[in-house]
């Protein structure tokens, strides 16, 4: 069965510091997509970053980057220069045909 595990239910980081959110997944597929979505209190699920499994290069979007380790089935998200607006639930997700989400990590930004 395809599963996505986020082992950190909550994390806190000081404003302007760097934080890494962990995600592991289980699959027998070789071709798939991985995503990090952000869900602020407004509830809108916002795409943060996307990685195609066939690409070895780690995806980067401004202050957000991933560490994709395909053999280890690991897909962590690094947020640099954390800002107050980064406070939200972060969901790791895996997709072949449908999206499977992890349970999320709530990120607090400390001023």
**Binding interface with other proteins (CB under 8 A):** 4, 33, 35, 37, 42-47, 50, 91, 93, 95-104
> Which residues have CB under 8 Å from 18's CB, separation 6+?
78, 79, 80, 81, 82
Q: For the CB of residue 1, give the shortest distance to other proteins in the complex, in Å.
A: 11
Q: For the CB of residue 17, give the shortest distance to other proteins in the complex, in Å.
A: 26
10 Å CB burial of residue 27 (0-12, 13-18, 19+) is middle
Residue with Cβ nearer other proteins (19 or 90): 90
Q: For the CB of residue 2, give the shortest distance to other proteins in the complex, in Å.
A: 11
């Amino acid at each position: 069965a395809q599963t996505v595990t986020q082992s950190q239910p909550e994390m806190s980081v000081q404003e302007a510091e760097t934080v890494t959110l962990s995600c592991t997944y289980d699959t027998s597929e070789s071709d798939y997509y991985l995503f990090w979505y952000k869900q602020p209190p407004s509830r809108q699920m916002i795409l943060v970053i996307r990685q195609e499994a066939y690409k070895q290069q780690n995806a980067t979007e401004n202050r957000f980057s991933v560490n994709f380790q395909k053999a280890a089935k690991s897909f962590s998200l690094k947020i640099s220069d954390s800002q107050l607006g980064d406070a939200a639930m972060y969901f790791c997700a895996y997709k072949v045909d449908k999206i499977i989400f992890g349970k999320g990590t709530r990120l607090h930004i400390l001023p």
